[in-house]
Chains A and B, each alone.
Chain A
Amino acid sequence: MVSVFSRRMFLFALLVLFTLAVLTVQARSEDRREIGFLGSLLVAALSPVQAAMTRVSDAVASGWRSLSEIGELRAENRRLRRQVEMLSEEVNRLREQAREAERLERLLDLARSLPHRTVAARVIARSPNAWYSTVLLDRGSKNGISMNDPVLTPSGLVGRVMEVGPASARVLLISDPRSAVGALVQRSRDIGVVQGLGGGHLSMRYLTRSAEVQEGDLVVTSGLGGVFPRGLPVGTIVRVTKDESGLFQEAEVQPAADLDRLEEVLVLLKGK
C-alpha cells in the first residue's frame, strides 16, 4: 500500500516538475508563450477540424439569427399593422368629423339666411320601402316642430313634416308619390306642381303648353298652397316632355337636395 502511494506521489511529482519546467520556459519567453514544434504540429493538425466546426456553428448561428429575425419581423409587422389600423380609424373619424362640421356650417349659414326660426335635426332612420320615401328626425314637438313644417338642406328642399312625436318627426320627402309641391321655373316664372315619382325621381306637372321650359332650368317653390315658403330650390329640369295633343307639358326634375344621402336637415318652424 505504501509503495502504491509512493509510486503515485512520485508520478505526481514528476508530472508537476515537468509542468513547472514547461511553465518556466513559457514565463521566460517574450510573449509568455512558446508552444514549440509539437504544439505547432498539434495546432496545425487540429485547425481544419476547428475550422469545420466553426463553419457548422456559423451556419447554426446564422440560421438561429434568421429564425429570431423572422420572429422579430413578424412581431413588428403585427405591431405596425395594428398601428396602421388605429391611425386609419383615427383618420376616418377625423375626416367624418370634418365633413360633418362642413355640413353643419352650411346648414347654419342657411338657417341665418332664412327669415324663419329653424331647428337643425339629424336623420336617424329612413323608410325601407323603395317607393315611399320618408325619413325620421331626432327632433320633435318638444323642439317646436309641427305638422307640415318644411324641411330642407343647404342644397334645397327635402320635404315636409308628416308626423310629429315629442322627440321625433317623420318627414315626407318630395320624391314620395304622395308629395306635391307648388313650384315655378325660376327663369321663365312658369308655374306647376312638382310631384314625387318614387325612387328619388320628381316630375313637374301642369306646365302650360306655352311655358318656355328648358333643360337646366332651376325649379323653386312658388309659395302657393301655404306649406312651403317661396323661393326654396326644388331641383333642376333635366328633360321636358311635350304632348302635342295634351293641354300641359311635363318636365323631369332632378332634386336639388341629395335625398338618398340625407344626414342633417333644417326644419323651418313655420307656425311659430
Chain B
Amino acid sequence: MRVAFILLLVLTAVVVQTTWLVRVPIRGVVLDPVLPLVMAIGLLRGPEEGALFGLAGGLLQDLFAGTSLGLMGMAKLTLGFLAGFLTASLYLESALPVLVVTGLGTLFHEVAWTSLAGLTGQFPVPLTVWAGKALLQALYNAPLGPLGLALLRRIESKTSGSRRPHPVRPRRGGGP
C-alpha cells in the first residue's frame, strides 16, 4: 500500500513536471519535484528504497522527457542510494539540513546525468551555461526538500501508522 502510494506520488511528480512545471520555467530552469522526493525517500526509508524509487522516477522522467532511458535513471538511482546513508548523520527534524542536502544532491544529480549524457554523446551545452543552470536548479530544488520530506512522512503515518523512519529497520517481523 505504502509502496503504491509512493510510486503514485513519483508518477504524479513526473507528470506534473512534464505538463505544468515545464510551462513556468524560472530563468530557463524547470523545477524537478522528483529529485527532492527521491532524496526524501532515501532519507526516510534507506538506501535500497532510495535507489529503487530513484531508478523508477528517473526512468519515468527519461521516458517523458524524450531523452535516452537511463540518464536520469542512473543519476537518481545513485542519488537515492547515497541519500539513504545520510539518515543516521542528518538531523531530519530541522528543515535547514534537509534544504542544504537537497541543494547539494541536486548538484550531484546534475553532474551525474550530464556526465552520462557526455559519455553517450548527448551533451551539446557549453560547460559555463550548464554550470549556471545547475546552480539555479540546486537553488530552486533546495526548498522542495523539506516539503518532500514532510509529504512523505504524512504518507508514512497514514499508511503504516509510523512516523519514525529508519533505514536499518528490520523489513519483516519487526517495526515499532
Scan B26-56; emit 1 where CB is below 8 A from any A CB, else 0: 0000000000000000000011100110010
Binds B, one of A49-57, A95-103, A164-172: A49-57
**Any A CB within 8 A of the CB of B162:** no
Q: How far is the CA of A15 from the CA of B48 in the complex (A)?
A: 10
Point out the residues of chain B lying under 8 angstroms from A61, CB to CB: 23
Nearest-Cβ distance from residue B16 to partner chain A, whole angstroms: 7
Q: How far is the CA of A22 from the CA of B67 in the complex (A)?
A: 12
Nearest-Cβ distance from residue A186 to partner chain B, whole angstroms: 88
CB contact under 8 A between A35 and B63, given known A8-B47, A19-B70, A19-B77: yes
Binds B, one of A25-33, A72-80, A153-161, A239-247: A25-33
B70 touches A23 (CB 8 A): yes
Q: How far is the CA of A8 from the CA of B18 in the complex (A)?
A: 32
Point out the residues of chain B lying under 8 angstroms from A4, CB to CB: 168
A57 touches B23 (CB 8 A): yes
- Pick from B51, B69, B122: contact of A35, CB below 8 A: B69
**Any A CB within 8 A of the CB of B157:** no
B19 touches A34 (CB 8 A): no
Q: How far is the CA of A190 from the CA of B121 in the complex (A)?
A: 117
Pull 24 A–B residue pairs with CB atoms less than 8 Å apart, ordered by A: A8-B46, A8-B47, A8-B84, A12-B47, A12-B51, A12-B81, A15-B52, A15-B77, A16-B74, A16-B77, A19-B70, A19-B74, A23-B71, A26-B68, A26-B70, A27-B68, A34-B69, A35-B69, A39-B63, A50-B18, A50-B19, A57-B19, A57-B20, A61-B23
Q: Which residue on B lies nearest to A38, using beta carbons?
A: B63
Point out the residues of chain B lying under 8 angstroms from A34, CB to CB: 69
Nearest-Cβ distance from residue A34 to partner chain B, whole angstroms: 7
Point out the residues of chain A lying under 8 angstroms from B51, CB to CB: 11-12, 15
Q: How far is the CA of A15 from the CA of B84 in the complex (A)?
A: 15
- Pick from B46, B74, B78: contact of A23, CB below 8 A: B74
**Any B CB within 8 A of the CB of A43:** yes
A11 touches B74 (CB 8 A): no
Point out the residues of chain A lying under 8 angstroms from B145, CB to CB: none
**Any A CB within 8 A of the CB of B15:** yes
Nearest-Cβ distance from residue B49 to partner chain A, whole angstroms: 10
**Any A CB within 8 A of the CB of B86:** no
**Any A CB within 8 A of the CB of B103:** no
Q: Which residue on A lies nearest to B81, using beta carbons?
A: A12
**Any B CB within 8 A of the CB of A46:** yes
A15-B77, A16-B77 given; 12 more Cβ-contact pairs under 8 Å: A12-B51, A15-B55, A16-B74, A19-B74, A22-B69, A23-B68, A23-B120, A26-B70, A50-B18, A53-B16, A53-B19, A54-B19
B63 touches A42 (CB 8 A): yes
Interface residues of B in 145-176 (CB under 8 A from A): 168
CB contact under 8 A between A22 and B66, given known A12-B47, A12-B51, A57-B23: no
Point out the residues of chain A lying under 8 angstroms from B122, CB to CB: 32
A33 touches B68 (CB 8 A): yes
**Any B CB within 8 A of the CB of A20:** yes
Point out the residues of chain B lying under 8 angstroms from A16, CB to CB: 74, 77-78
Q: Which residue on B lies nearest to A36, using beta carbons?
A: B69
Q: Which residue on B lies nearest to A40, using beta carbons?
A: B63
Point out the residues of chain A lying under 8 angstroms from B71, CB to CB: 23
CB contact under 8 A between A43 and B63, given known A19-B73, A49-B15: yes
